């Protein structure tokens, strides 16, 4: 059993928890994820690691309540326990001094961008971060992202905070202003349409773009095939080959179709949970 040490509510649907998981914290690297199960009968859900503290033996997760399991998770409080917390899973982010890297975090995707941006900055990169959310209430960790970025840009879709617009608007402006040859890498994490849109922007400029895919998962160890995606015409497993891939090679249309496979069942489970 894994104890919830702290809980913070960023908005009615976005919550942060610090989990006591020393063995995960000892080994995890930026870009990796965990699969958790709240109780014996529970669904297994993957969540990318938002932060870790090796000395305290803790892992920080940030999640958005979108279905039954994340809503149930959101009802737990500090002092409660989670049944399973398996990790670290997946391949860590590739960190080196690329030069100038643009890190884009959309919505709850801001959380997994954080440790990667921090590692990239520590490796000597000039880190330009762009974070965005639909509205001010859904934006979090502006202060933490500022700490690990050389420059930070903030957007909200509805203009309720800082700049109105999408992260892709800022991304395009930065590339146009500084020149495509002065941007060495783009990292984009967030909702699938956002990552796809970022890739569409950068593809025209020929700037390598890494995305972190959020696929359906069961075992998380490459055995069930549930998380398969097509990347560069080849079948890859998000849980072991990813979650990060070259965004220009990802078949986002197929990923979106596969992600919607159990939407009706998910909706029924949610209705049963809330009724």
Which residues contact ligand FES by CB under 6 A?
Answer: 217-220, 222-227, 237, 239
Q: Which helix H or strand E contains 172, and what residues bound it?
A: helix 167-178
Cα 8 to Cα 16: distance, rounded to the nearest angstrom: 5
Q: How far apart are the first and last CA of the chain?
A: 28
Q: Which is nearer to ligand FES, 46 or 115 (CB)?
A: 46
Around Cβ 118, how many Cβ atoms within 10 Å? 20
Q: Which is nearer to ligand FES, 119 or 227 (CB)?
A: 227
Shortest Å distance, C-beta 231 to ligand FES? 14
Positive or negative CA dihedral for 137, 138, 139, 144?
A: positive
Q: Which is nearer to ligand FES, 198 or 217 (CB)?
A: 217
DSSP string, 62-79: EEE--SHHHHHHHH--TT
Shortest Å distance, C-beta 235 to ligand FES? 11
Shortest Å distance, C-beta 220 to ligand FES? 5
Shortest Å distance, C-beta 67 to ligand FES? 17
Give Cα 88 to chain centroid, integer Å: 15
Query: What residues contact 51, with CB distance under 8 A and at least 6 apart?
Result: 59, 60, 111, 114, 115
Shortest Å distance, C-beta 257 to ligand FES? 17
Cα 150 to Cα 145: distance, rounded to the nearest angstrom: 10
Q: Is 172 exposed, middle or buried (CB count within 10 Å of its CB: 0-12, 13-18, 19+)? A: middle
Shortest Å distance, C-beta 215 to ligand FES? 7
Q: Which is nearer to ligand FES, 162 or 224 (CB)?
A: 224
* Cβ–Cβ under 8 Å, residues 123 and 130: no
Q: Which is nearer to ligand FES, 15 or 236 (CB)?
A: 236
Cα 60 to Cα 76: distance, rounded to the nearest angstrom: 15
Shortest Å distance, C-beta 240 to ligand FES? 6
Q: Which is nearer to ligand FES, 127 or 211 (CB)?
A: 211
Helix (H, G, I), strand (E, B) or coil at 51: strand
Q: Which is nearer to ligand FES, 35 or 167 (CB)?
A: 35
């Amino acid at each position: 059993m894994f104890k919830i040490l702290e809980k913070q509510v960023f908005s009615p649907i976005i919550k942060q928890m610090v989990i006591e998981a020393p063995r995960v914290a000892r080994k995890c690297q930026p870009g990796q994820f965990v699969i958790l199960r709240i109780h014996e009968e529970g669904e297994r859900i993957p969540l990318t690691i938002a932060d870790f503290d090796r000395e305290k033996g803790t892992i920080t997760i940030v999640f958005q309540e979108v279905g039954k399991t994340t809503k149930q998770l959101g009802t737990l409080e500090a002092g409660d326990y989670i049944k399973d917390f398996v990790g670290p899973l997946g391949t860590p982010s590739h960190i080196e001094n690329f030069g100038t890297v643009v890190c884009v975090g959309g919505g709850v995707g801001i959380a997994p961008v954080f440790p990667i941006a921090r590692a990239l900055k520590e490796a000597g990169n000039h880190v330009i971060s762009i974070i965005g959310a639909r509205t001010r209430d859904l934006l979090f960790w502006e202060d933490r992202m500022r700490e690990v970025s050389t420059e930070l840009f903030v957007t909200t879709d509805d203009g309720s905070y800082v700049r109105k617009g999408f992260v892709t608007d800022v991304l395009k402006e930065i590339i146009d202003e500084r020149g495509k040859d002065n941007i060495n890498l783009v990292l984009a994490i967030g909702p699938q349409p956002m990552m796809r849109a970022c890739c569409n922007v950068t593809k025209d400029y020929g700037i390598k773009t890494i995305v972190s895919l959020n696929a359906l998962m069961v075992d998380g160890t490459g055995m069930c095939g549930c998380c398969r995606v097509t990347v560069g015409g080849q079948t890859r497993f998000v849980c072991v080959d990813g979650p990060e891939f070259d965004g220009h090679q990802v078949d986002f249309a197929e990923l979106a179709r596969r992600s919607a496979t159990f939407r009706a069942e998910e909706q029924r489970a949610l209705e049963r949970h809330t009724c």
